Every structure is written in structure tokens, then in C-alpha cells.
Structure 1
């Protein structure tokens, strides 16, 4: 008697999942000049002519795409949230553009957060301000892990954009590695929000707190939220908390724990919407 119930449940699930996927339009592949590199990116854009606020979204060390998709589900999930708020989302592919796979366990990285990825951020912004559908005064940054670390470098006052165009509107960094930035007296020239779990043993919550607290009084608005029970990747949908195994996937960190924290995930969605609405 259990089999028919299972069949019914699977049928209902199959009916629900395509409907959810259909709610998010497929991304548009775009090419962006970035120094000597052509930066490949995926663009999610609301219908209409705009101008729309835009979020430049920066993938982690696992890369942007999956085995058979240009944008991993974890990033598509955020794209859907941002599109609901009327924002376009541009995902530069810093690794795929250079014919590189995941970089989580690469010792000598050819693409670093503080150099090549910052160059990609600036190239993406320069491309966006030339697009008629983009609101050039409402371009924000959002990044995860290695992408969040790149974001921290991109918003430093030392990188002040000496152009007539408006600067980035704001920035949101999910669980960056703050250890180097905190030691260098980091500060930001645009409002920056850091979100990290207290149990994150991949990044360093104490270093992020020290970095943000040290910037007070000599920085644009900075805030940090530390979620008490959350690990690395807490905003990733449907990922049970787990330790990285002895033979981790190439797209996983070398060690530590990863997994969804439903409460922190829901709170972060609310906070991101409020921060980007400034």
C-alpha cells in the first residue's frame, strides 16, 4: 500500500519543481572586455527596458557553473530572490573565462581575490554603466566566500574610482576570509554588510568581526551579522550540515563544515533585501 502513496508524492513533487524552475528565466550569456581577457558572464534581467538596479554577484572558489548548467542552483536561488525585487543580476565567471575549474584546493591560484577578481569586478561595472537598461547609480556587489573576499578588496578606499560615474551603491559579503583584510586595517568606501556563521570553520568569524569593528570611525557604514548556529554555506538551499570528507569534491573547501541553516538563510534574505534597498 505504500507504493501508490510514494508514486503520488513523487508526481506532486515533479509538478512543483518545474513550476519553480519556470519562474526564473534562463540567463543571458554576455561577454565583457577585462584587460587581456574576455570575461564571460551570465545575466538575469527583469522584463522591460529598465533602468534596473543591478547586483554584480561573485561566485565562490567552486566556480559559477555546475556539471550541466551555467549557474549553480545555489546562485540561481539568489538570482530569483533579487529578481523578485526588480533587480538584474550579473554573474561574472572568473574561472571559466580563463578555462579554469574549481579553485578551492589549488595551492597556487592563477586567479586571486585581490587582483584578477577585482579586475573582473571593475570590468563588469564598466560594462554595466554602458547598458541603457542598467541604473548606473544603483550597481551593488554581492559575493560568497572567495567572491566575498574579492568584494572586500574592491570596496577599499584605496581603489576609489576616479571617474565621473557613481560608485557602487552597496555591498554584501557572505562568509569571506577576513584574516588578511583585518590585519591590513580594512575599511570600505561604500556601505558593506558581512554575514557569517559563528560555527564557520572554513572562514574566520573572529577575524571578520575584528575587521568590521576596526573600520568604525574611518569607513563608510559597515555591519556584521554573526549567526550563532550557522556553518559555512548557511544560505545554500537544501544542504544538510556535513563535514568535508577526506576526499572532498573539487568544488568544496579543503576542510571544515558546510550546510544550510534555515533560520540564518531566511534572515539573510531579509537583510540583503533591506541593505540593497538603501
Structure 2
């Protein structure tokens, strides 16, 4: 793969991000040319020149951006928390980079978590290792739903392309574990899975089976199942409801809704896990 060149739409050195979660400014738009396409991403950084530990944050099937926002509130809220912890956050936009909108209800998807999205993760990691403000040995992954499923592929020992330095750790929010649990999944970096016990979009039992099956032949893995919590439990102010209608950015089935207690616990667990 040719060396990565970043075209930064805003000047990185001129932007300082305050630690307050309530005053997180607009992200910096990044373009990373690689092969036959350009990977678009959004970047949040703490104050100062760094170097900072960095998180590659992976959106779900609804995409990264909204109609008027480059980053949807669910990801911006987490970015604010991570920046407050002193971490930079890079959010690759796997769909917009390929001219696509939300993919939740697309039957013949052109983007595979196992291929294209893992390629985006590798490209983002290589770009970050070239940035003076990023700590190359402290790059971690956080993903949600289909982004979390892609993360599970990216941390497997069988990753097709070598990543060096390797990822520090990984956190997967409510991934689809069904394929991985049947393929003898294991991880080469510490990996934490957070999922609601009542998640009926994906399968908590499949995730538990996957983690149980990895014991003894994997890097550190852990699963936390929140009893009473549903899919999207970590979103702020999302009323509990059954998915309905034809919203292309919503799951095809199941229930979604906030769980403030589970989110608060997840916030602490994520902070501790990424600090390892």
C-alpha cells in the first residue's frame, strides 16, 4: 500500500479542544487517500500538541453524519467524553467515503465489515502513526453495532494486513457476534464487549458464547451484559421504542432505548479499559 498522505481541511495546529464535554467544537475534516478511494474522517483533539492516546471510533449501520451534522450526537457525545479523558478521536466515515448513505436496511450491502471496514481501520491506523500529535503505540478501537462487528474482525489474529504498532485495546458496543462465535473467534489485543441483556437487534448469548470460546487462546477479553438494557443503551435521551417504519438509519427489527445507569457504568469501564 502506498504511503498515506492526509489532506487536512482545517489546520490541526490552529485548533485547540477544551476538555469540557459541553463545549466540544466542530470536528476537523480529514481526507486520507489510499488506493482507489479517499477515506473521509472527522477528528476531535484535546488541547495542546500531544502526543495523545487516540481512539478510532467506528459508526454503526446508520452512518456517521446527520443531515446537518458531520458527526451524529451519539458519536459526538462519546467523543466529548474521550477528549475529556485526554484522548484524540478519529471517526472514519466508511459510507460517505464510498458515496453511500445509511446501510441498515440495504439487502445487498456493498460494504463488508470483514473487508472494506477493516481496510478503513487499517488505513486510519497507518495515518495516525504518521501524525506527531498521536501516540503510535496507544491507538485503540471503539465501535458501535456494525462498527463493533467490524472491530471484531480487525482484532482477530488472522488480520490480513500487519498493523504495527498494534492496537492498544478495543471496546465493542452491542456487536453482531453470531458469525464470529461460529468461527472460533479470538483476539490479539484486549477486547471488551458491552451489550444489553435484552438486546433483540443482535444476540447477547452469541457474544457470551464467543467470549467463552476464546478463553485460553486469546488476549484478555471481557463481556459485560447489562440486565434490562436494550440496543443503543448508551445513547443519551433516546426514548425506549420498538423499531418500526422504513428509516434506513434504524435497525430492521428489535427495540432501542437509553439506559442511563448502564451508560454511566459503560462510561467508567471504557475509560478504565482504554487507560490500560
Q: RMSD between aligned alpha carbons?
A: 1.2
Note if contact 2:21-2:81 (Cα within 8 Å) is conserved in structure 1: no
- Mapped to 1, the partners of 2:161 and 2:95 lie a distance apart of 25
User: Could you say what secondary structure the match of 2:158 adopts?
Assistant: helix
User: Could you say what secondary structure the match of 2:139 adopts?
Assistant: strand
Query: Greater Rg, structure 1 or structure 2?
Result: 1
How far did residue 248 of structure 1 move?
3.5
- In the alignment, which residue of structure 2 is the partner of 1:263? 261
- In the alignment, which residue of structure 1 is the partner of 2:12? none
- After superposition, residues 84-123 of structure 1 pair within 5 angstroms as 84-123=84-123
Structure having the larger proportion of residues in helix: 1
- Any idea what the Cα deviations from partners look like across 1:28-74, whole Å, max 9, x if unmatched? 00011233110000000112110000000000000000110000001
User: Could you say what secondary structure the match of 1:136 adopts?
Assistant: strand
- Mapped to 2, the partners of 1:75 and 1:129 lie a distance apart of 23
Note if contact 1:61-1:251 (Cα within 8 Å) is conserved in structure 2: yes
Unaligned runs of 5+ in 2: 1-19
- Mapped to 2, the partners of 1:223 and 1:208 lie a distance apart of 10
- In the alignment, which residue of structure 2 is the partner of 1:3? none
- Mapped to 1, the partners of 2:161 and 2:189 lie a distance apart of 12
TM-score by length of 1: 0.90
- Any idea what the Cα deviations from partners look like across 1:150-198, whole Å, max 9, x if unmatched? 00000000117546x3100000000000000000000000000000001
- In the alignment, which residue of structure 1 is the partner of 2:3? none
Note if contact 2:170-2:192 (Cα within 8 Å) is conserved in structure 1: yes
Across the two proteins, how many residue pairs are aligned to each other?
257
TM-score by length of 2: 0.91
- In the alignment, which residue of structure 2 is the partner of 1:206? 205
- After superposition, residues 229-240 of structure 1 pair within 5 angstroms as 229-240=228-239
- In the alignment, which residue of structure 2 is the partner of 1:73? 73
Moved over 3 A (4+): 160-163
- In the alignment, which residue of structure 2 is the partner of 1:48? 48
- Mapped to 2, the partners of 1:22 and 1:225 lie a distance apart of 28
- In the alignment, which residue of structure 2 is the partner of 1:12? none
- In the alignment, which residue of structure 2 is the partner of 1:129? 129
